[in-house]
């Protein structure tokens, strides 16, 4: 029988009178990449701390890899990258990583491999104080993947990373997920998460506001689909008349016309535009981005 | 290597690199050598051995320096790591909070052990090589000084961790540690002395004795200077030693308790602390 990699049922956690998390139920299965998005203070870091058994929930139950969070952590099955990663600045990169490897009961050679994976092989003998912010973040990521953990918890992992390593980072995440690990990524870089995660959980005010794949949340939120149409010889007013009343013109930019319509009406509108024949040069469908969905879901909610 | 050993070893290495070991050893060695060679004059012709005299001088030095060193080593151990953000990551690893506190304690105790052994040892060795060979009793008193100095350090390490666990900022922990040092090393004895002067005979000896047990620095002082023999004579504490009803073994026991209880308290507080 396979367990979900993590399962939270009705979990609440308060700090005094502040409800950091309120009745959260959430699951992630093996091989899944789950994005955790929310304002600062929405409860993302608290959720990580609960999964790591650094905090205990006030109510509800948490299972990590089929065990209690304490047991999962004790087994060394969880990799964690905190939002701010700090090392003793005088330590050499490899020395820091060997320390973390030994704490997990792993041989020092594992640390060497992890250094190579994150592209720090050349810099491994340099003291951490000489590392750039991006290099420290890479070192942090290297410690998180030590021993190929079954659950990876990454808090704002791409902060400070250059675009080239961002690509490598997401490739490594995909590699880990394909090997069966669950990956939970909290981030504000929504456009990145859109392409690099399987499901998205939106937290706000300590509550789970939305959970599902991007398509599922899109359907639920019912934001209009945008169509960018470049007219041919016909006038843009003809286009507006053709697609009404299902779609309406929201903006004209340069030679293009932007239309908005309900998700269900999208195909009907496209067919009508196709009916204009040479009158339409190009159609581009722009589904609502995660940024737009996030803004809609969290609108009016305090963190 | 167990997680406890990994934490202890890493802490020791960091302190070695940050020159802590060198600074602590150097400081004790300089003072000890200075006392060994410059502090012999008061002995005159009393017949007290040079090592005995060194023990008296070093015990007085230890009461000030060892607690200070221990508090400096320990005050930011917990709060510093929490503030820098390294504690959160450490707690995500398969290591318990007890192992973290115990690991740091062992590393810091190791530093004190090196500092006392090398620092005091160099002074004793210098004396042994430059004059008459000291007798077994003198060496026993010296060994006792070294062991109780490390125990004194252990109790102040524990107090330092307590300070480090109770507060949320390093600066507050530093202030608290300094306060502990002032209170136990300076103020406590002054208050006790003032009470004795003011109320003198009204205070039963048992109460004075009990009050002295409340301060590890005083327990250390009694354990080294008032247990009889030449050292008591040199320290001018023979009378106090005779008045004291607690045997040396009881003093050792109290000092051992002082070495353990603050540490246990720090662990209990750290267990409940949210990081």
Residue range B230-262, pLDDT digits in tens: 666 666 555 555 566 678 888 889 999 998 999
Decide if A154 is inside a domain.
Answer: yes
Q: Contacts of residue B88 in chain A, CB cutoff 8 Å?
A: 49, 54, 82
Asked if B91 reaches chain A (Cβ–Cβ under 8 Å), the answer is yes
Can you read off the two tokens belonging to residue A85? 């990663």
Q: A3-34: per-residue pLDDT in tens?
A: 789 999 999 999 988 999 999 999 999 999 99
Searching chain A, which residue's CA lies closest to the CA of residue B13?
A91
Return the DSSP state at A250: E
pLDDT higher at A184 or A262: A184
Instruction: Indicate if A233 and A195 belong to the same structural domain.
Output: no
Instruction: Indicate if A210 and A234 belong to the same structural domain.
Output: no
Cβ contact A73–B94 (<8 Å):
yes
Asked if B168 reaches chain A (Cβ–Cβ under 8 Å), the answer is no
Cβ contact A73–B93 (<8 Å):
yes
Please state, in angstroms and as integers, the Cα–Cα distance from residue A270 to each residue in A218, A224, A263, A264, B201, following that order: 19, 14, 12, 11, 105
Question: Does residue B126 have a pLDDT over 90?
Answer: no
Q: Contacts of residue B14 in chain A, CB cutoff 8 Å?
A: 88, 90-91
- How many CB atoms lie under 10 A from the CB of residue A133? 12
- Residue A214 is part of a domain; what is its CATH number? 3.40.50.300
Asked if B271 reaches chain A (Cβ–Cβ under 8 Å), the answer is no
Asked if B17 reaches chain A (Cβ–Cβ under 8 Å), the answer is yes
Asked if A18 reaches chain B (Cβ–Cβ under 8 Å), the answer is no
- How many CB atoms lie under 10 A from the CB of residue A252? 11
Decide if A25 is inside a domain.
Answer: yes
Decide if A71 is inside a domain.
Answer: yes
Cβ contact B91–A102 (<8 Å):
no
In whole angstroms, what is the distance from residue A18 CA to residue A39 CA? Answer: 15
Instruction: Indicate if A117 and A239 belong to the same structural domain.
Output: no
Decide if A292 is inside a domain.
Answer: no
Q: A121-172: per-residue pLDDT in tens?
A: 999 999 999 999 899 999 999 999 999 999 999 999 998 888 888 999 999 9
| Three-class SS of B3-69 | HHHHHHHHHHHHHHHCCHHHHHHHHHHHHHHHHHHHCCHHHCCCCCCHHHHHHHHHHHHHHHHHHHH
Q: A259-300: per-residue pLDDT in tens?
A: 999 888 889 999 988 888 888 888 999 988 888 898 988 886
For an interface test with A, give the residue of B9, B14, B84, B94 to mutate (most A CBs within 10 A). Answer: B94
Instruction: Indicate if A148 and A235 belong to the same structural domain.
Output: no
**What is the pLDDT averaged over residues A210-222?**
89
Segments forming the whole domain that contains residue A239: 224-287
Asked if B16 reaches chain A (Cβ–Cβ under 8 Å), the answer is no
**What is the pLDDT averaged over residues B80-93?**
93
Decide if A122 is inside a domain.
Answer: yes
Q: What is the mean pLDDT of chain A?
A: 90
Cβ contact A86–B85 (<8 Å):
yes
Question: Does residue B44 have a pLDDT over 60?
Answer: no
- Residue A254 is part of a domain; what is its CATH number? 3.30.70.920
Interhelix angle B188-199/B216-225, rounded to 10 degrees, is 70
pLDDT for A239: 81
Nearest beta carbon to residue A104 from set B14, B88, B93: B93
Instruction: Indicate if A272 and A192 belong to the same structural domain.
Output: no
Phi, psi for residue A199 in degrees, rounded to 5: -135, 160
In whole angstroms, what is the distance from residue B143 CA to residue B137 CA? Answer: 10
Instruction: Indicate if A139 and A240 belong to the same structural domain.
Output: no
Question: Does residue B25 have a pLDDT over 50?
Answer: yes
In whole angstroms, what is the distance from residue A232 CA to residue A105 CA? Answer: 67
Question: Does residue B3 have a pLDDT over 60?
Answer: yes
Can you read off the two tokens belonging to residue B120? 């005091």
Please state, in angstroms and as integers, the Cα–Cα distance from residue B133 to each residue in B51, B60, B128, B147, B235, following that order: 10, 24, 6, 22, 21
Query: Measuring CA to CA, which residue among A242, A253, A244, A247 is closest to residue A227?
Result: A247
Cβ contact B18–A52 (<8 Å):
no
In whole angstroms, what is the distance from residue B72 CA to residue B92 CA? Answer: 27
Instruction: Indicate if A194 and A244 belong to the same structural domain.
Output: no
Q: What is the mean pLDDT of chain B?
A: 87
Q: Contacts of residue B107 in chain A, CB cutoff 8 Å?
A: none
Decide if A301 is inside a domain.
Answer: no
Q: Contacts of residue A87 in chain B, CB cutoff 8 Å?
A: 86
Asked if B10 reaches chain A (Cβ–Cβ under 8 Å), the answer is yes
Query: Measuring CA to CA, which residue among B118, B84, B63 is closest to residue B14?
Result: B84
Please state, in angstroms and as integers, the Cα–Cα distance from residue B172 to each residue in A239, B73, B118, B169, following that order: 70, 15, 33, 5
Decide if A237 is inside a domain.
Answer: yes
Cβ contact B92–A105 (<8 Å):
no
Searching chain B, which residue's CA lies closest to the CA of residue A52?
B92
ipTM of the complex: 0.86
In whole angstroms, what is the distance from residue A105 CA to residue B188 CA? Answer: 47
For an interface test with B, give the residue of A103, A147, A155 to mutate (most B CBs within 10 A). Answer: A103
Instruction: Indicate if A115 and A261 belong to the same structural domain.
Output: no
Number of structural domains chain A divides into? 2
The CA R_g of chain A, rounded to the nearest whole Å, is 23
Q: Contacts of residue A15 in chain B, CB cutoff 8 Å?
A: 274
Asked if A88 reaches chain B (Cβ–Cβ under 8 Å), the answer is yes
Asked if A87 reaches chain B (Cβ–Cβ under 8 Å), the answer is yes
Instruction: Indicate if A51 and A193 belong to the same structural domain.
Output: yes
In whole angstroms, what is the distance from residue A192 CA to residue A206 CA? Answer: 23
pLDDT higher at B235 or A216: A216
In this prediction, what percent of chain B has a pLDDT beyond 90? 53
pLDDT for B240: 58
Asked if B7 reaches chain A (Cβ–Cβ under 8 Å), the answer is yes
Instruction: Indicate if A242 and A162 belong to the same structural domain.
Output: no
* Residue A1 banded pLDDT, cuts 50, 70, 90: very low
Decide if A231 is inside a domain.
Answer: yes
Q: B195-240: per-residue pLDDT in tens?
A: 888 887 788 888 888 899 999 999 998 888 766 566 666 665 555 5
Instruction: Indicate if A89 and A171 belong to the same structural domain.
Output: yes
Asked if A127 reaches chain B (Cβ–Cβ under 8 Å), the answer is no
Instruction: Indicate if A141 and A273 belong to the same structural domain.
Output: no
């Amino acid at each position: 029988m396979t367990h979900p990699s993590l399962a939270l049922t009705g979990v609440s956690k308060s700090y005094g009178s502040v409800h950091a998390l309120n009745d959260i139920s959430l699951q992630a299965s093996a091989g899944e990449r789950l994005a955790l998005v929310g304002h600062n203070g929405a409860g993302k870091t608290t959720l990580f701390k609960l999964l790591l058994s650094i905090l205990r929930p006030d109510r509800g139950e948490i299972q990590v890899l089929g065990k209690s969070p304490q047991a999962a952590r004790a087994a060394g099955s969880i990799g964690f990258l905190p939002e701010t990663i700090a090392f003793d600045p005088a330590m050499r990169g490899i020395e820091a990583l060997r320390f973390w490897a030994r704490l997990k009961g792993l041989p020092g050679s594992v640390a060497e491999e992890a250094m190579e994976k994150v592209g720090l092989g050349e810099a491994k003998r340099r003291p951490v104080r000489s590392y750039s912010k991006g290099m420290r973040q890479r070192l942090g990521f290297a410690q998180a993947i030590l021993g190929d953990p079954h659950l990876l918890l990454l808090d704002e992992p791409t902060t400070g990373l250059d675009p080239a390593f961002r690509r490598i980072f997401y490739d490594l995440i995909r590699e880990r997920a394909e090997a069966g690990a669950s990956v939970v990524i909290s981030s504000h870089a929504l456009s990145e998460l859109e392409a690099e995660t399987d499901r998205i959980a939106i937290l706000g005010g300590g509550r789970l506001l939305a959970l599902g794949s991007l398509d599922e949340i899109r359907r639920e939120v019912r934001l209009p689909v945008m169509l960018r149409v470049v007219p041919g010889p016909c006038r843009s007013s003809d286009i507006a008349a053709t697609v009404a009343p299902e779609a309406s013109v929201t903006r004209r930019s340069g030679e293009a016309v932007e239309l908005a319509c309900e998700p269900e009406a999208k195909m009907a509108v496209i067919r009508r535009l196709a009916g204009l024949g040479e009158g339409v040069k190009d159609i581009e469908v722009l589904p609502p981005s995660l940024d737009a969905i996030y803004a809609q879901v969290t609108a009016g909610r305090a963190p | 290597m167990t997680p406890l050993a990994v934490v202890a070893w890493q802490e020791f290495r960091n302190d070695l690199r940050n020159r802590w070991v060198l600074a602590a050893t150097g400081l004790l060695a300089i003072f000890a050598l200075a006392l060994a060679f410059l502090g012999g004059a008061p002995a005159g012709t009393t017949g007290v051995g040079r090592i005995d005299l060194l023990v008296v001088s070093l015990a007085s030095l230890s009461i000030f320096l060892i607690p200070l060193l221990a508090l400096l080593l320990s005050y930011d151990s917990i709060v510093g790591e929490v503030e820098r953000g390294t504690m959160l990551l450490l707690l995500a690893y398969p290591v318990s909070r007890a192992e973290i506190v115990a690991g740091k304690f062992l590393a810091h105790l190791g530093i004190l052990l090196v500092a006392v052994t090398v620092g005091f040892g160099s002074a004793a060795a210098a004396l042994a090589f430059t004059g008459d060979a000291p007798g077994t009793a003198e060496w026993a008193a010296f060994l006792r000084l070294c062991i109780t100095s490390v125990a004194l350090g252990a109790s102040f390490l524990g107090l330092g961790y307590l300070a480090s666990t109770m507060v949320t900022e390093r600066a507050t922990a530093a202030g608290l540690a300094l306060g502990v040092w002032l209170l136990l090393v300076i103020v406590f004895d002054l208050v006790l002395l003032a009470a004795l002067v003011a109320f003198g005979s009204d205070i039963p000896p048992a109460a004075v004795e009990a009050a002295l047990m409340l301060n590890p620095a005083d327990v250390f002082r009694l354990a080294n200077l008032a247990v009889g023999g030449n050292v008591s004579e040199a320290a001018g504490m023979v009378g106090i030693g005779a008045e004291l009803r607690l045997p040396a073994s009881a003093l050792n026991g109290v000092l051992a308790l002082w070495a353990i209880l603050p540490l246990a308290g720090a662990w209990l507080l750290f267990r409940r602390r949210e990081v």
